[in-house]
Structure 1
Amino acid sequence: MNMPKGPARSVISTHPVVRRLVDELGAGLAGADGAPGVITDVVIVEPGDRLDGLADALVLAVGARGDEAVALVRSAAEAGAAAVAVRGEVPTPEVRAAAVDAGITVLGVPDGLRWDTVAAEARAVLGAGGAGAADRHGDLFSLAQTVATLTRGVVSVEDSAHRVLAYSTNGGEADELRRRSILGRTCPEPYLALLREEGVYRRVRSGDEIVEVAARPELGVRRRLVAGINAGGRPLGTLWVQEGHQPLAERADEALRGAARLAASQLVDHYFQGDSSARLSSRAGLAHGLLTGRFEASALAAHLGIGPTAAASVVAVDLRTPDAGEGTGSGDVRLAEAVGIVSVHAAAYRRNALVAVACGQIYAMLPESGPAPTDAEEESLARWAADLVTALRRHTGTPVQAVVAGTAARLDDIPAVKLRGYRALGLLARNPERAVATHRTLTAALLVRDVLELLGTRTDIRHPGVAALLDHDRAQGSELARSLLRYLDGFGDVAAVAKELNVHPNTLRYRVRKAAAVTGLDLDDPEHRLAATLHLRYAAEGETAGCPGGQPWPTNAVR
């Protein structure tokens, strides 16, 4: 038999337990390609133990080395185990050969990694339903993963005693310091001494400053950014972003600042032994109640840390996810990831920002410290929304759009502003290349949409001449109505409209004269022109405007 050579890390397992142990704890990987598909239990065994009841188990071979490890791998495979973990980051050639021959995956556990840590990590992944601690939404692991996505870095969260509470999954990009911190669940003391000497902790505990910590190649340490997690002047912990194989994102510091603000409430729960996931769910529910008007705003304000008379700007976001060809589960995951990204961006922009989901759209509520924002401040908010859309488009792969819906003078007015955002997003969907708009720039278009919807509720308000023109186009296969509408929209500029319709100017003039004859309209009369424009626009857009009873544009017309 040919012995495998090298660490054999090219062998890939899709199981979350194996991915976690390899990516985050530095375990080596060898054995049968693609295995295991299922792991349902973690079992600790020693040489000489009777191996039974191991179906689909990850076996931790404690104390087994050399020939004992080879024998245990073979026996575990015969007992139905899914994988075996043995001591040594790179399994010996004999162990790897036995694994390939038996068709089982073998993990090599580094010498510095405790067996109880391996067991705890594996069981944490299984306990999370196979998703892994880092994939659970609404906790520090999820927040760390969101920050890693936004910064292109390797993220970890520490409490005030420098214990590692959560971290992102970033494959092999972790440096030696991060590996040692995760293995020991705390930052090594020599490096802590350097940080204290440089005043890093003093600086991050004094406010929102993002501190850069230079790389130290001689210590196996890459460049880092760190933010303090503080609440009410009390330091609760730190949030770290380590530079991986590529430079950190341009605005990594802003993402880090927002995430540190979001992490504060979760670390409060950590210190007081609370349930942070329940707290986050409660906060999300209260934010949704504020957005939709289900609860009295003044009662919520104190709980959410917002003044009851505060104004609040609202930004509405739609991911524009595809309706077909995608499972509901993947859509839900994408929405949850997007909510995390919006939350980090919003917290960086405004400390007491709230984010909620309604009607499949994401709404950021940004309480104002003073009166309603000025025009310049609204432009600043629009630029922030544009940066947010850029980040969401990059990470979701969908044509995300956003609308700055305006400012609610009081928290009680947020539902009305939310409705404006919802309607504006519906209008913006017709212009997919436009990423961001403000309600102010869409006011005229929304007014026209309102009038069209009103026409839909009053079927008795119709111009008989325009109705006759639409019937004529249906019967003749002509497009007199379309040409007349373009002519009216173009202020009678025959040359420009003819070019748009790709016809000769004389052809357009003929169509307009013919349309006037069929309808009896006097196109020199402004009221006639306005009535014709509204009726024609309703016919052309009635269906997309959601107008009940809208008479669709002739489908047999040449377009």
Structure 2
Amino acid sequence: MSRQAARAGALTMRQLLDALGEVMARPLDSDQPLDRVVTDVVIHDPLSPQALEEGDLVLAVGVAPDGNDAISLIDAAELAGAAGVAFRRAGGVPRLPGGSRAAVILVDPDLAWEQLISFGRGLVFSAAAGSASDDEQPSDLFSLANTIADLVVGSVVLYDVHHQVLAYSSLDGHVDALDEVRKGTILGRRTPDDWVDRFERDGVYDRRPGARVMRIEGYADLRTRLRVAVRAGDEVVGEISVAETTARLGPQTEAVLEQAARLAAPHLVRHRLERDLTRRARSSALQALLAGRGPLDVHRRELDLPLTSSYAVIGLALHPAAGPGTEAEIRRERSARLVGALTETQHPRAVTCRIGSTVYALLPHPPSSDRLRLLTRHVVARAAVSGVPVRGAVGRTVTSLGDVALSRAEVDQVLRVLSAADPEGGGEPDLSGTPLVAGVDDVWADIALVEVRDLLDEAGARRPSRPISVLLTHDADRGTAYVPTLTAYLDAFGDVRAAAKALALHPNSLRHRLRRLSQIAGLDLDDPVQRLVVALELRILL
């Protein structure tokens, strides 16, 4: 969308603040002029500042409100004719230069910068598209779905970007005309998994519509569909799907649907903002519960958990996004939202939160251990299809809310083992060699090694014994391979033939090496205690 079109929409700072609400954002000074038109929402990066433009709402990410950099940014915004500058409402407040017409606003810490970008750009886009005033628009998403259904004469479903149903039109008079897929979608609040698989195989999702309507037809058990993406600026915030019922969906319907997508944009953006704010409050409560902090009754009410229930925690470790800074954090947050949404779809009462690079899900009344693993594998597979590689860990089922932290502790132990295969520094993860989903019973031995390693690190004793140190030095100085030889022998539990095969050696050559390295290092491989200690060293230290 061009800035000229945005200026024609004439969305002022006052209108944007009214849409956000005073709880989320307010002007620094009630006497500030708020009449400048917003044409875009941009991030100010102190490490790589970009030229500001007329109409920009500038998000002061990482800028201390009461510092000199804040004053410089406000001055630059005023000089460029920007609509305003947004600071976090935390700590000090900016000093407002006299005569500035660029609004300075304070944003609540619970409102993520990414949310403000999506919401702001959605409003700019809606204003530019000439949407009706709020008084003329439907009051909620279900009303919006019914309004669209009346216009196109079909069954309407509004989706979010994860194929979850947000709302659907009234079924009065249309139930008999609906195909089984549409009925299953409405009942399950999501496109049925077998049809998601089918659409993915056929490349339907690869052809996600832009501003134009996509027609889906030719399936024997699926009535004609029209799909159109709902966009807020350049970002897809949802989708409208119309299923044919009693009337044919002709070309004129496509034109109506394009207009409906423009009408729906601010509704879907506002719905996502409200949902995200609720999720953020629930996420904070879950984080405290997983850490064993705070009163259980308060957490239970905040999370709407049952009075009596068993619970299990699963964890999904995201592959760390490459690079520091705002863009990497936004990518991590988007990946976490996708994984959280997939988990909540599989278990409707699940509550999720992100801590670092891990998404945790608390499941009341969890299924059996086998089904819990199956659920976790399904989420991992779905995330992978969407380009988000994750590993999953399943914690124990506990019988009280106070023991949830124990289930989470098991999840963390498992994820430490599973994530050991992922390279540091943001490269692509090596997903071979270790399972994608596991529980403590699968990797208990590896967990024990990690705990021993932690104890040695804590005591400052993580260093090789004299025999291993001698062998390491000998290999480095003389080009021998005594350490790999000893490792293969111990891994084969003393089976010379198996170890020789692993090293591509003749068994007699291996026996000779073992005698020689024993002499050099002063090792007695017939002593079970020495064998145990050396095997642990080779696993933990190297």
TM-score normalised to the size of structure 2?
0.52
SS of aligned partner of 1:295: coil
**Residue type of the partner of 1:471?**
T
> Corresponding residue for 1:409?
399
Over 3 Å counting, the alpha-carbon distance change for 1:205 and 1:385 in structure 2 is: closer
> Corresponding residue for 1:429?
419
Which one of the candidate residues 352, 355, 360 is aligned to 1:355?
352
**Residue type of the partner of 2:354?**
V
Deviation at 1:388, TM superposition (A): 0.7
> Corresponding residue for 1:380?
371
| Residue deviations 1:54-91 (CA, integer Å, cap 9, x gap) | 99979xxxxxxxxxxxxxxxxxxxxx99xxxxxxxxxx
| d(CA) in 1 for partners of 2:528, 2:157 | 76
| d(CA) in 1 for partners of 2:3, 2:481 | 61
> Corresponding residue for 1:131?
118
| Residue deviations 1:371-428 (CA, integer Å, cap 9, x gap) | xx6xxx2111111111111111121x24321111322332222223223222321211
Which one of the candidate residues 516, 526, 529 is aligned to 1:527?
529
Matches within 5 A, 1:468-479: 468-479=470-481
**Residue type of the partner of 2:369?**
E
| d(CA) in 2 for partners of 1:207, 1:287 | 28
> Corresponding residue for 1:283?
282
Deviation at 1:513, TM superposition (A): 1.5
Over 3 Å counting, the alpha-carbon distance change for 1:296 and 1:510 in structure 2 is: farther
SS of aligned partner of 2:340: helix
Deviation at 1:333, TM superposition (A): 3.2
Over 3 Å counting, the alpha-carbon distance change for 1:337 and 1:514 in structure 2 is: same
Matches within 5 A, 1:459-470: 463-470=465-472
> Corresponding residue for 2:295?
296
**Residue type of the partner of 1:400?**
V
Worse-matched range after superposition: 332-341 or 461-470: 461-470
> Corresponding residue for 2:18?
none
| d(CA) in 1 for partners of 2:38, 2:465 | 74
| d(CA) in 2 for partners of 1:37, 1:206 | 39
SS of aligned partner of 1:314: strand
Matches within 5 A, 1:240-259: none
Contact 2:471–2:482 (Cα < 8 Å) also in 1: yes
Q: Could you tell me which runs of 5 or more consecutive residues in structure 1 were left unpaired when the two chains were aligned.
A: 1-17, 19-35, 45-52, 59-79, 82-126, 137-156, 168-174, 226-238, 245-265, 541-559
Matches within 5 A, 1:480-519: 480-519=482-521
Q: Within the alignment, does 1:163 sit opposite 2:160 as a pair?
A: no
Contact 1:317–1:402 (Cα < 8 Å) also in 2: yes
| d(CA) in 2 for partners of 1:412, 1:346 | 23
Contact 1:43–1:54 (Cα < 8 Å) also in 2: no
Over 3 Å counting, the alpha-carbon distance change for 1:510 and 1:340 in structure 2 is: same
| d(CA) in 1 for partners of 2:349, 2:281 | 16
**Residue type of the partner of 2:452?**
V
| Residue deviations 1:211-261 (CA, integer Å, cap 9, x gap) | 99xx999xxx83499xxxxxxxxxxxxx975579xxxxxxxxxxxxxxxxx
Over 3 Å counting, the alpha-carbon distance change for 1:388 and 1:328 in structure 2 is: farther
SS of aligned partner of 2:293: coil
SS of aligned partner of 1:162: helix
Q: Which has the larger radius of gyration?
A: 1
Which stretches of structure 1, 4 residues or more, deviate above 4 A after TM superposition? 37-40, 53-58, 127-130, 132-136, 157-161, 175-182, 196-200, 203-212, 239-244, 274-277, 458-463
Matches within 5 A, 1:187-202: 193-195=172-174
Contact 2:315–2:394 (Cα < 8 Å) also in 1: yes
> Corresponding residue for 2:312?
313
Contact 1:347–1:353 (Cα < 8 Å) also in 2: yes
What's the C-alpha RMSD, in Å, of the aligned pairs? 5.1
Matches within 5 A, 1:219-238: 222-223=224-225
Over 3 Å counting, the alpha-carbon distance change for 1:352 and 1:55 in structure 2 is: closer
SS of aligned partner of 1:406: strand
Matches within 5 A, 1:17-36: 18=1, 36=2
Deviation at 1:458, TM superposition (A): 4.2
| d(CA) in 2 for partners of 1:133, 1:180 | 26
Which one of the candidate residues 329, 333, 336 is aligned to 2:333?
336
| Residue deviations 1:437-483 (CA, integer Å, cap 9, x gap) | 22210111111221233233445697433333333334434331222
Q: Within the alignment, does 1:42 sit opposite 2:1 as a pair?
A: no
Q: Could you tell me which runs of 5 or more consecutive residues in structure 2 were left unpaired when the two chains were aligned.
A: 11-34, 41-53, 56-113, 124-137, 159-166, 193-215, 228-238, 245-266, 422-430
Contact 2:156–2:241 (Cα < 8 Å) also in 1: no
> Corresponding residue for 2:25?
none
Contact 1:38–1:56 (Cα < 8 Å) also in 2: no
